[in-house]
Structure 1
Amino acid sequence: MEENLNKHSKISAADLSRLSKEADQEATPSSAKIIWGEFKADKPAFIALFIVVGFILFVMIASLFINTPKIMETNIMNYNAAPGTSGFALGADSAGRPIFQQLIVGARNSIGIAIGLTIISSIFGICWGLISGYFNGYIDWGMQRVYDFMMMLPMTMMIIVIVTIIKNYNAVTLTLIFSVFYWEGTSRLIRSRTLSESEKDYVAASKTSGTGSFKIIFKEIMPNISSLIIVDTTLSFAENIGVETGLSYLGFGLPIQTPSLGTLIANANDPNNITQYWWTWLPAALLIIVLCLSISYIGQVIRRAADSSQRQGTED
């Protein structure tokens, strides 16, 4: 009798182990696995991911070995040196400064500002949209009037005025200035989704059980819209690279002696540079195009991963 019971218990343990493994295999995969599966299924997107991550790591590390004040010194003996001459891999500009080193440092500055702007504006916009959409009523009305006021302001002109008033500023200061104006789009997107999420049963059940409002907002609603947040943040990053580049091109971004992709493209303002000295602006322009297209492609894959009806990858 005892032997039969032991045998039965062993069989049951084996069956339980097998069933547990099967359950793990059939369980819903995590968001990270789904996204990774989409990248593996889409080779161009995988290449775009490799380009973006690899280039960011390269410029961040390579810029540590570049003496920025040194490369920004004027050397008229190397006036518009062609690529490959006098040791200039990508040539020199009208002041004899190496384009290749400026491109690395400028890309680091532009990408660094875009990352900082994306983090700050996304965090503020997400919190603003979540709180506004959840509480609704008078709180939502008041917060949306602030939003409407900010949207009425001409952002580009306001930034130009602020930059003109501030005499001494750097990349950190510029990032904070941008962040004051570039949270509205994220806020409106998150608010609209939060309004619909707040009407669902799980939120009503949490309220009934006495769960605090902020716990519901940040521990229940926010995880359920995480795919939307990831997609919006990714696409905002590509957009924010263009924000700094455009203002630096106009002369209202980083200071003149601080390299950026925008200041390099501004070399195209000289007609001679467009026709004869193309290396002073074309590498930076091509770099921005490749980066923005790659990031946008990555954002599309993440968006597709968030929609089960459009997924191409298969989970093992």
Structure 2
Amino acid sequence: MKKNDEKEKQLESLPPMGFQVIVREFLKDKVAIASLIIVIICLLVAFVGSLFIDQVSLMKVDILNKYANPSDLHWLGTDVSGKDVFGQLIVGARNSILIGFSITIITSIIGVSFGIISGYYGGVIDNILMRFVDFVMVLPTQMLIIVFVTIIPKYTIFNFVAIMSAFYWVGKARLFRSKTLSEGRRDYVSASKTLGTSSFKIMFREIMPNLSTLIITNLTINFAANIGIETGLSFLGFGLPPNVPSLGTLISFARTSDVLANKTWVWLPASLFILIMMLSINYIGQALGRSSDAKQRLG
């Protein structure tokens, strides 16, 4: 019994493991916890609420209810076509979040992989990959996205995600390439090469974990940014198809002075939703970055 008690005391005296350090440091930040709760509530409202909404009936035009004021039947009133704004807010939030998340994951996988491979090998491989990245970067991305969205007949959310993902990974590739160049000169990489460890294991099991702080921060900040990009394109009329609800579509009604000043129920809830989501996600990303830095300081 005494030996077991001594072992338990020794385990308790050991420094916390990596993930435990991140959680512990994150929980110290009360604003980050509040931001996380807000994001969870927004996600639950968007994804659970949309399960109870029939999108086909939601998008039916009812011209007799054009710009109806908020009431028991329409909690946030209706838009210019008589469609319920509250239902469009819930379904549109789900669509915008799904698009932002999908683009973030796809571009992160491509960008991080490109950057680590390029920075690790260097030389000819680095030159070839970086010249391709430079070529994509100099392209007029916004104009090309608008062109592709315009020429694709009956495009869907999947088409939109694919088009956006094809251009928004290059910044990540350059960022992680520069960080990998510095990591590749460290002793643990040289030791692994000497021991005969495969390049794949060195890149993705040794170097990439040491970039976790940058990956986490970049991932969360880009998630918020990608939601904003989709919203901006939808506002300009080059986002999702007209029959698919979007936060940007609701905000686009504010282009007329009458709606902007007198019919705030159409565009203001969507604007507030985006603002709150972006601020909360950005603060969570910064808090996770600080927590990861604490983990690396403690080893």
> TM-score, normalized by length of structure 2?
0.95
- Number of residue-to-residue matches in the alignment: 298
In 1, are the aligned partners of 2:67 and 2:80 still within 8 Å (CA)? yes
Shift of the alpha carbon at 1:54?
Answer: 2.1
Question: 1:32 corresponds to which residue?
Answer: 19
Matched, 1:186 2:167: no
CA RMSD in angstroms comes to 1.9
For 1:168 and 1:304, the matched residues in 2 are separated by 44
Matched, 1:156 2:156: no
For 1:88 and 1:116, the matched residues in 2 are separated by 31
Q: Secondary structure at the match of 2:109?
A: helix
Shift of the alpha carbon at 1:59?
Answer: 1.1
Question: 1:8 corresponds to which residue?
Answer: none
In 1, are the aligned partners of 2:247 and 2:270 still within 8 Å (CA)? yes
The partner residue of 1:83 within 70, 81, 85 is 70
Matches within 5 A, 1:69-148: 69-84=56-71, 87-148=73-134
Give unmatched runs, 5+ long, in structure 1.
1-12
In 2, are the aligned partners of 1:80 and 1:94 still within 8 Å (CA)? yes
Question: 1:254 corresponds to which residue?
Answer: 240
In 1, are the aligned partners of 2:26 and 2:291 still within 8 Å (CA)? no
Question: 1:5 corresponds to which residue?
Answer: none
Question: 1:14 corresponds to which residue?
Answer: 2
Shift of the alpha carbon at 1:163?
Answer: 0.7
Shift of the alpha carbon at 1:172?
Answer: 1.0
Shift of the alpha carbon at 1:18?
Answer: 4.3
Q: Mark the structure with the bigger radius of gyration.
A: 1
> TM-score, normalized by length of structure 1?
0.90
Identity %: 49
For 2:257 and 2:84, the matched residues in 1 are separated by 20
For 2:162 and 2:120, the matched residues in 1 are separated by 27
In 1, are the aligned partners of 2:212 and 2:292 still within 8 Å (CA)? no
Q: Secondary structure at the match of 1:258?
A: coil
Question: 1:42 corresponds to which residue?
Answer: 29
Q: Secondary structure at the match of 1:308?
A: helix
For 2:12 and 2:233, the matched residues in 1 are separated by 51
For 2:28 and 2:290, the matched residues in 1 are separated by 12
For 1:23 and 1:242, the matched residues in 2 are separated by 49
For 1:301 and 1:249, the matched residues in 2 are separated by 31
Question: 2:207 corresponds to which residue?
Answer: 221
In 2, are the aligned partners of 1:304 and 1:310 still within 8 Å (CA)? no
Question: 1:283 corresponds to which residue?
Answer: 269
In 2, are the aligned partners of 1:35 and 1:301 still within 8 Å (CA)? no
